[in-house]
Amino acid sequence: MSASPSAFKPAAELGTIGLLRRLFAEHARKHVLAYIAAAVLLAVGAGATSASAWLLKPIVNGMVGNGAFKELRTMSWTVWGLFSLRGLVTFGSLALLSRAGNRIVADIQRQLFDGLLAQDMRFYHDRHSAEFMTRLSLSANGMRDALQLTITSISRDALTAIGLIAVMVLQDPILAFIALASLPVAAVTLGRLMGKIRKFARRSFDGSTRIVETLQEAVLGAKIVKSFNLEENMRTRMASAIREVERSANRMAITAAISNPISDVLAGFAIGAVIFYGSWRVTIQHADPGALFSFIAALMLAYEPLKRLGRSNLDIQNGLIGARMIYEILDRPAVEAVVAGRPPLSVNEGRIVFDDVRFGYRTGENVLKGVSFVAEPNKTTALVGPSGGGKSTIIGLIQRFFAPDGGRILIDSVDIASVNLHSLRASIAFVSQDVFLFRGSIRDNIALGRAGASEADIVGAAIKAHAHDFICGFGDGYATDIGEQGAQLSGGQRARIAIARAILKDAPILLLDEPTAALDSESEREIQKALDDLRVGRTTIVVAHRLQTIINADRICVIDGGQVAESGNHTELIAGNGVYQDFFATQFGEQARTPALSSQERRSANFKNVQYP
């Protein structure tokens, strides 16, 4: 388990400067040349702006005095040249900054996704997927904006302001003091506003997350939404999320906009004071009018960049909220990272042993209270028992989705805690209780079972999974698009595609969590046949809900209340008068008690279970 990858303090404890330093150290360093080049270009632009203000002194004095028209003509060309130069360097710097910035967003998105993939199941269970979507899009952009703005404000606006302030001080130090006296007042007021903006930005982010969340649930759960007439319910949820975002956006905009009157009032006061004092100097004391002109031009030119500096500060704060949220995920230890030096698991026989395994999803809660059983190679072990007893949990622990709180799980006498996680999962083919299909075609979905599988392998697996016939029934065959999460397929078809995927994987250990969802007896039988084929020559553990699976199992473990209450084969257990007998009777009725059922009886028992679970 790698510790936090960063040398920095946790993001929540870092202030603005700390976060910016981290952003630069971790992301901007790679693009340092581009950033330096952009900063130089922006500085040239700042210089050009200051120079054009500086030039006003000789221009005005030339006009007022009896200066030569020829010189003034050269000046006008120079001013044009300076402005054009500023336009060109601004273009160059923006191009450089955008490329570097977009690259950083791409890097962050990759890193964030890698960070997510390296988390364990517990992490996913605790969160809604919408949260990740907003982080991946909004927050990554926020991080880029914070970096970009820092660079543009420092190189362009701060340098322009410094250059122009220098012009003012050189032209008239006393005037400069009068003009700049309002700056500290502005800085303090803007600082106050910033704290407020940060709060609203966080709220707006939470609102955006809830918008994505509601949208996702409304679309994925469209069937339930319609059937239960939940449109109004979803609309209310969405409206409240949208209102939250709208309200925070308004508050943010208003707070940011307040900076305008504040700076305008202060700037107007400064300019008025300058004109008052300046005109007194020029008219009464006969001071140099060119210097006053140049001074006023510099003051007016400095106004915009100074205002932008205040404004960028607000926007940088906003972007840093995204940075903080991304670092929260990036700084989590990569729980599932491959620990160097762990040997790969090599499965020979495939004997799986549970040795007093204890586990709870939450601290202080026991879902498994000391589970011990052996799943023999080449045999099928069925886990049966009441809902919520811990059967799916056992299947998850074998794949080490979670680490047990106590006890050991051994495969061929090797504790799975000590082996390479990737090799463990490569040795297991898993069909989950709730089938998951990915975007794409049927072929794509089966092919995920084994990288580089040939078309013949894929079709072979589909035939064994009794899926080939229905696939060929579709116009596009294996290229048929299945829609989001397989929405265009029936439950039984989805299950058979998942089984084909597991067949293709051809792993020595097979874990099946039978879907509890009702299937018609035809697809039920097809799936049964597919699974019978798949079990040959492997260690199979199956969470069994169906009569045939249970009766055909070599060994049955009754999981009740987080423990193995009873185990044995069907004949032994049914004779034992224990929990199995009760379980079986309630599940399948008295008529299914005898193991030697006729196929007609089995089907009707099954049918009964399916229709009236």
Ligand X SMILES: Nc1ncnc2c1ncn2[C@@H]1O[C@H](COP(=O)(O)OP(=O)(O)OP(=O)(O)O)[C@@H](O)[C@H]1O
> Applying CB under 6 A, which residues contact ligand X?
125, 361, 367, 387-393, 433
195 binds, among ligand X, Mg ion, none (CB under 5 to 8 A by kind): none
DSSP 143-199: HHHHHHHHHHIIIIIIHHHHHHHHHHHHH-HHHHHHHHTTHHHHHHHHHHHHHHHHH
Site string for Mg ion, 421-460 (x = CB under 5 A): ------------x---------------------------
Which of the listed partners (ligand X, Mg ion, none) does 387 bind, with a CB threshold of 5 to 8 Å by partner kind?
A: ligand X
Smallest distance from ligand X to CB 499, Å:
18
> How many chain residues bind Mg ion (CB under 5 A)?
2
Cβ closest to ligand X, residue 233 vs residue 516 = 516
Of residues 166 and 610, the one with the C-beta less far from Mg ion: 610
The binder of 388, among Mg ion, ligand X, none, by C-beta within 5 to 8 A per type, is: ligand X
Token pair, residue 259, equals 């900076």
* Alpha carbons 248 and 322: distance in angstroms, whole number: 16
Residue closer to Mg ion (CB basis): 256 or 431: 431
Strand partners, 556: 382, 568
Q: Pairing relation of β-strands 509-513 and 539-543?
A: parallel
Q: Nearer Cβ to Mg ion, position 433 or 480?
A: 433
Q: What letter would DSSP give residue 30?
A: G
Q: Are 28 and 104 in contact (CB under 8 A)?
A: yes
Nearer to ligand X by Cβ, of 561 and 568: the residue is: 561
**Choice between 387 and 577, CB closer to ligand X:** 387
End-to-end CA distance of the chain: 44
Q: CB–CB of 390/562 below 8 Å?
A: yes
Residue 125 interacting partner from Mg ion, ligand X, none (CB closer than 5 to 8 Å by kind): ligand X
380 touches, from Mg ion, ligand X, none (C-beta below 5 to 8 Å by class): none
If the CB atoms of residues 391 and 496 are measured against ligand X, the closer one turns out to be 391
Smallest distance, Å, CB 392 to Mg ion?
Answer: 3
Nearest distance from residue 517's CB to ligand X, in Å? 11
- Contact present, 146 and 22 (Cβ < 8 Å): no
What are the DSSP calls for 349-366, one per residue?
S--EEEEEEEE-SSTT--
Copy the structure tokens of residue 67: 């200066």
Q: Cβ 550 to Mg ion, closest distance in Å?
A: 15
What is the rounded CA–CA span in Å between residue 579 and residue 567?
Answer: 10
Evaluate whether 381 touches 540 at the Cβ level (below 8 Å): yes
> What dihedral angle (degrees, nearest 10) is formed by the CA atoms of 464, 466, 468, 473?
170
Smallest gap, in angstroms, from Cβ of residue 336 to ligand X? Answer: 16
Nearer to ligand X, 393 or 609 (CB): 393
- Strands 368-375 and 352-359 turn out to be antiparallel
CB of 24 to Mg ion, least distance (A): 49
User: What's the min distance (Å) between Cβ of 363 and ligand X?
Assistant: 11
**Alpha-carbon span 508 to 377, nearest angstrom:** 9
Residues recorded for the chain: 613
Is 411 in contact with 345 (CB distance < 8 Å)?
yes
Q: How far is the CB of 368 from ligand X (least distance, A)?
A: 8
600 binds, options ligand X, Mg ion, none, Cβ within 5 to 8 A by partner type: none
Residue 45: name its binding partner from ligand X, Mg ion, none (Cβ under 5 to 8 Å by kind): none
How many angstroms separate the Cα of 444 from the Cα of each of 120, 363, 439, 606?
Answer: 25, 40, 8, 33
Q: Which does 390 bind (CB under 5 to 8 A by kind): ligand X, Mg ion, none?
A: ligand X
Report residue 330 as tokens: 């990036």
Distance separating alpha carbons of residues 483 and 479, to the nearest angstrom: 12
Which residue lies nearer to ligand X by CB, 378 or 433?
433
361 binds, among Mg ion, ligand X, none (CB under 5 to 8 A by kind): ligand X
Centre a 10 Å sphere on the Cβ of residue 483 and count the other Cβ atoms it contains: 11
At its nearest, how many Å lie between Mg ion and the CB of residue 513?
6
Shortest distance (Å) from residue 609 CB to ligand X = 13
Task: Compute the least distance from the CB of residue 131 to ligand X, in Å.
Answer: 17
Backbone angles phi, psi at 381, to 5 degrees: -105, 125
Q: Report the residue from 90, 392, 569, 604 that binds Mg ion according to the rule CB under 5 A.
A: 392
Give least dist CB 395 to ligand X, A: 8
423 binds, among ligand X, Mg ion, none (CB under 5 to 8 A by kind): none
In DSSP terms, 381 is beta-bridged to: 541, 555
Contacts of 305 (CB under 8 A, 6+ apart): 156, 157, 158, 160, 161, 164
Residue 401 or 474: which CB sits closer to ligand X? Answer: 401
Two tokens at 290? Answer: 């060119």
Of residues 204 and 563, the one with the C-beta less far from Mg ion: 563
DSSP code for 481: B
The option from ligand X, Mg ion, none interacting with 4 (CB < 5 to 8 A, set by class) reads: none
Closer CB to ligand X, residue 20 or residue 395?
395
Provide the CB-side half-sphere exposure for 456 (13 A, CA). Answer: 0
Point out which residues bind Mg ion (CB under 5 A).
392, 433
